[in-house]
Amino acid sequence: MSNNKEFVKDITNIDEDFAQWYTDIVLKAELADYTAIKGFISIRPYGYAIWENIQNYADMRFKEHGVKNVSMPVLIPESLLNKEEEHVEGFAPEVAWVTIGGGEKLEERLCVRPTSETIFSTMYSKWLNSWRDLPFLYNQWCSVLRWEKETRPFLRSREFLWQEGHTIHETAKEAKQFTLDMLEVYADVIENLLAIPVLKGQKTRKEQFAGAEETYTVETLMHDGRALQGGTSHYFGQNFTKPFDVKFQNKNGEQEYAYQTSWGISTRLIGAVIMAHGDNRGLKLPPYAAPVQVVIVPIAQEKGNVLEEAEKIEKTLKEKFRVELDNRDNYTVGYKFNNWEMKGVPVRIEIGPKEIERGEVIVTRRDTLEKMPVKIEELEEVVEKLLQDIHQNMYNTCKKRMEEKTTVAHNMEELEKNMNENQGFVKTMWCGSQDCEDKVKEVTGAPSRCIPFEQEHLGDTCVCCGKKADKMVVWGRQY
């Protein structure tokens, strides 16, 4: 068993200083590192491999819905950005501008894309002619730049990786349905790949995306009870297609503006994985997103045929799983155990002379640290079942936390008390007034997370003003 004291030296205790614990994990598990430019990070191979697994899974699901990938320019002319007033107003404080190119001052400022609705809309206006062309179901995987004041690796960096889907449709009904379909894809990614339960719902008008008619969200809850927005999907209606002249000849031969959607997830999901699952030993990676699912650590590898047997096991398991054989001879076995636990590898296999004699290996699962002897001939089957069990156990652990940290409040006093004593999601009734929404945030530091799809009747009056209320809303402090 690994020595717990060694970990306390390596990383801050999760319950003493959660923010510092998080930063320690990012650096010690070699996920990312700070660069010379404030607010910009370098994602290291291990962190990027997690993103690739998220990307591959999500991309497969997008393509099942007919989505195709494209690439759009990183620079957007100021005149384009200004075409949708609400949108530009929402992003103006975060925009970085390019004013000089090739040593000469540019005639028009170019913004480094904070998001790409405007450039997609411009191209769609060129490409769209008839209803027969629709829908356009396009997505791009890229980086965007937002000049955030407060930054933290993965959660809020100035440049981050994401995907942004932008689709146009013939009817409002079709566009709205696609918006919800993409939200379901995000729920699938977060729950079935990352083992984190989600709360699905619609954002309030105040919290919705700048320029959207409706914004839908999948909300997650972290170890410390703070919420993290996992992904959003937006229905724009014709808010962009009208100013950008994205129109088509409909079935009656008349010109009509298309209906538009936009949706995105980003590398902040890596932050969600760290904060939802990690512990005082480091990362705890969900099996299907883990870059390495199984690590093999030979014991006394210089003896007999230990290394040879370890290599055979590696070869067999590699056909089905992502496997690494740690045959480094310049590190102790104890160091290797700690190192791979820090990196959150779901399953560790130990094999030494004694195990070879017995025709077995020792298998340790990262989520519970439970050890078990397994016959070598049964290993493949055991590992497959173990990965399923680990995923389910990690999901259930998060689900239990979410349930324990979800409370109900009927008035402001209860809401504030719940948020301070058991930080998490608080469900209340709400009248729909932004004044009440602002007041709750001012008093508790918790903005609204969403109006859940699954509504509950908790009473008849608003938590804030006491007037008639027919909507249940969930509040939570956020990352």
pLDDT at 88: 65
Considering the domain architecture, whether residues 373 and 434 belong to the same structural domain is answered as: no
Q: Are residues 113 and 129 in the same domain?
A: yes
Instruction: Assign residue 234 the CATH number of its domain.
Output: 3.30.930.10
Residues 344 and 452 in one domain: no
Q: Is position 65 within any domain?
A: yes
301-305 — which CB contacts under 8 Å span 24+ positions?
301/327, 301/329, 302/329, 303/352, 303/353, 304/353, 304/356, 305/356
Q: Are residues 321 and 449 in the same domain?
A: no
- Residue 1 confidence (pLDDT): 39
> 3-state DSSP call for residue 26?
helix
Q: How many CB atoms lie within 10 A of CB 188?
A: 15
Q: Is residue 47 part of a domain?
A: yes
Please tell me whether residues 392 and 412 are part of one structural domain: no
Instruction: Centre a 10 Å sphere on the Cβ of residue 229 and count the other Cβ atoms it contains.
Output: 19
**Same domain, residue pair 32 and 144:** yes
Let me know if residue 35 belongs to a domain. Answer: yes
- Name the domain boundary from 401, 423, 455: 401
* 285 in a structural domain: no
Strand partners, 282: 279
Structure tokens at 19: 């923010």
Torsion angle of the four alpha carbons 342, 344, 346, 347, in this order, in degrees rounded to the nearest 10:
-20
Residue 284 counted as domain residue: no
Q: pTM here? A: 0.94
Determine the Cα–Cα distance for residues 226 and 432; give it in Å rounded to an integer: 23
Indicate if 225 and 328 belong to the same structural domain: no
Q: Are residues 261 and 349 in the same domain?
A: no
Confidence (pLDDT) at 7: 45
- Determine, yes or no, domain membership for 109: yes
Q: Give the integer Cα–Cα distance in Å for 468 and 479.
A: 31
Tell me the C-alpha distance between 376 and 357, whole Å: 11
Last residue of a domain, one of 219, 247, 277: 277
* Chain mean position to CA 64: 20
Which spans in 405-426 are helix H?
412-421
Provide the token pair at 150.
Answer: 């407060």
90/204 same-domain check:
yes
State phi, psi for 296 to the nearest 5 degrees: -105, 125
Residues 264 and 321 in one domain: no
pLDDT at residue 73, rounded to an integer: 97
Residues in the chain predicted with pLDDT less than 50, given as ranges, are 1-8
Q: What is the pLDDT of residue 436?
A: 97
Q: What is the CATH number of the domain that holds 367?
A: 3.40.50.800
Tell me, yes or no, whether 306 and 333 share the same domain: yes
What's 447's domain CATH number? 3.30.110.30
Determine contact, residues 40/158, Cβ cutoff 8 Å: yes
Whether residue 250 is found in the same domain as residue 313: no
The reply to whether 272 falls in a domain is: yes
Of 366, 381, 401, the residue that ends a domain is 401
- How many structural domains does the chain have? 3
Half-sphere exposure in the Cβ direction for 143 (13 Å, CA): 12
Show the domain range for 417: 406-475
Asked whether residue 17 is domain-assigned, the answer is: yes
What per-residue confidence (pLDDT) applies to 9? 59
% of residues, the chain, pLDDT over 70: 97
